[in-house]
Amino acid sequence: MPDFPWARGAATGIGSLPGTDIVEAQRVVFGELPDLAHLPELPARGPGADMIGRTAGFLVDLPVQVYAGRWQMAPRPGKDLRHTADLLERDLDQATEQGDGFAGTFKVQAAGPWTLAASLEQQIGGRMLRDLGAVRDLTDSLAEGLRRHVDEVRKRLPRATVLLQIDEPSLPTVMAGHVPTESGLGSYRAVAAPEAATGLRTIVEQVGVPVVVHCCAPDVPLRVLRDSQAAAFALDLSLLKDLDPLGEAIEAGLGLFAGVVPTSGPAPDSKRAADRVSKLWSRLGFPAAKLPEQVVITPACGLAGASPEYARAALTACREAGRRLAEA
């Protein structure tokens, strides 16, 4: 079993939080998640803070712009990219200031190549996904941009262990051939599993830090995530239907970011979250001692839609559930 780049009994957030105040968001993250903090994403700030715009800002030599409310490729960098870069710079400044001396694991997030390709539009119309040559160029550009981003985070938090999370909510839809064309009358062709894994592996091999692939959609293609050489995968346990692929991935040595704390509803319960993970682990037949080493507790998905009070309570519940598992 490999050594995992996080503390025993760790917990973290998926990435997004409510509100527009990065100072408060980063304070909450460092306060509630002392072992595995992350760079918060605040999509309520608008274009450039959303997952697609924020990630497109990492692309190298492939500028983007907002057109008719959607992100599309652009002939040259413009005000939308400058605004995106300014938001990220502010976020990194806060991480640097509030994370001064931080020596735990620090996670940054970005959309993966398939979700980006399924969302970004070409200038001539249609999604980037329609042209697999363009998707390869997009993936290479993203890999280089994320490598630079990770290097910048390492400079700002020199004592931290950096982890990259790739968000791929569209991956199952891309692989099923269900991404609609611009007319809505057809769909783009399905992407085969080996091709999907190759795109992810391009990122994994380039960035120089362990990678977690996150997908909170149903039918997560766990075999693809294994073949991508990611260090871990993150999923919403409530959407899990088949335990065999999960067990195979864990047995292969991947870490599990277990999404067990709901993103809304009554006050989150750390004991219930810990018990749920313990029961699943027992059903899979793995040694109990390995659970707090290999599993990180997270919310089921991002918390952008929650109230600030609930978001903080959810992160607290994740931390307390992780400690329960470590002390069991």
Angle at the Cα of 119 from the Cα atoms of 118 and 123, rounded to 5 degrees: 105
Pick from 51, 120, 62: which is nearest to 88 by CA?
51
Per-residue pLDDT at 125: 84
Question: DSSP class of residue 180?
Answer: B
The pLDDT, as a whole number, for residue 283 is 95
Name the residue ranges covered by the structural domains of the chain: 46-230
For 207, the 3-state DSSP assignment is helix
- Rounded to two decimals, the pTM is 0.96
Write the DSSP assignment of 12-56 as a string of letters: ---SB-SSS-HHHHHHHHHHH-SSEEE--B-GGG-TTTSHHHHHH
What does the pLDDT look like over 247-287, one tens digit per residue?
999 999 999 999 999 999 999 999 999 999 999 999 999 99
- What is the per-residue pLDDT across 18-43, written as a single tens digit (0 to 9) for each? 999 999 999 999 999 999 999 999 99
Residue 2: predicted pLDDT: 56
Domain covering 46-230 assigned CATH 3.40.50.2300 in the classification: no
Bridge-based pairing state of the strands 70-73 and 161-167: unpaired
Ranges of the chain with pLDDT below 50: 1
Q: Under 8 Å CB-to-CB from 124, ≥6 apart: which residues?
A: none
Distances in whole angstroms, Cα of residue 229 to Cα of each of 157, 199, 205, 212, 255: 25, 11, 8, 10, 12
Q: Tell me, what's the pLDDT at 1? A: 42
| DSSP string over 78-125 | -HHHHHHHHHHHHHHHHHHHHTTT--SEEEEEEE-HHHHHHHPBPTTS
Q: How many CA atoms lie within 13 A of 13 on its CB side?
A: 33
Share in percent of the chain as helix, strand, coil (round to 5): 50, 15, 35
